[in-house]
Amino acid sequence: MNILVIIPTYNESESIMAVIDGLLSLKENVEILVVDDDSPDGTADVVKSRGLPRIHLLSRQEKTGLGGAYRAGFLWALERGKFSHIVTMDGDGSHRCADLSLMLSKADTPNSVLFGTRWMPGGAIVNWPKSRQLLSRMGTTYARIALKIPLRDLTGGFRIYPITLLKELNISAIASEGYCFQIEMARAAVAHQCALVESPITFVERKHGVSKMNRSIVVEALWRVTLWGFSRRLGRSADKLHYVK
């Protein structure tokens, strides 16, 4: 497995090096791509200061959202042509590097996407208020019912995608910008008929910086999932043609 970990960042200068050092300490030989959206706190400079060949930086000129950062990261990986698996994770320390080894051990099934899952036996949440837990669980439940996707954590961003999937997706067609991007990627994986594999993770609330969650992100997810759900019920789903080349 040739693994690239993609980490989108915006104002994560206080957290990003701990995440990078945790990844570099794993027994797996991973490479890291930080996709920074012109963070005013100097996140890009912190990453560049590490100066290791396994660490890459993709600096973007403006903040366009989580979806835009991941699309840019996926295209960067595809252009290099040397990676077999792409890991996505947050740069604020909420995803534990210690969970990644277990996830990777389950990711070698052909044509499978591995989902780090909080809401399953063995999964946990640390230091999240009950209101955030309720919002996350309700969001996943609504999306799972509306879209008929049998996953227990549709909004989480700790995942492993096979490069074969990304090669065959119309990356630009995955248009969500906020955390709805995670739901849409799951939808694209289903359209590609991938196996969906879950692995328990412990999600830890950030110690530094400010959460990117806001009302517009919630509204985007609610609106898109509702439209996709109605389309599916009316028999107008064209996911295979929309997402898969």
Quote the pLDDT of residue 9. Answer: 96
Q: How many other CB atoms sit within 10 Å of the CB of residue 233?
A: 11
Residues 195-211 pLDDT 10s: 999 999 999 987 776 76
Domain containing 8: what range?
3-243
Tell me the DSSP string of 84-153.
Answer: SEEEE--SSS-B-GGGHHHHHHTTTSTTEEEEEESSSTT-EEES--HHHHHHHHHHHHHHHHHHT---S-
d(CA 161, CA 3): 10
Low-confidence ranges of the chain (pLDDT < 70): 209, 211-214, 235-241
Classify the phi-psi angles of 65: left when phi > 0, otherwise alpha if psi is within -120 to 50, otherwise beta.
left
- Which residues are registered as beta bridge partners of 57? 34
Quote the pLDDT of residue 82. Answer: 95
Q: Find, among 90, 86, 67, the residue nearest to 76 by Cα.
A: 86
CATH code, domain carrying 200: 3.90.550.10
d(CA 147, CA 83): 30
Quote the pLDDT of residue 231. Answer: 85
Quote the pLDDT of residue 212. Answer: 63
**pTM score, two decimals?**
0.92
Residues 87-98 pLDDT 10s: 999 999 999 999
Number of domains present in the structure of the chain: 1
Quote the pLDDT of residue 236. Answer: 60
d(CA 245, CA 167): 9
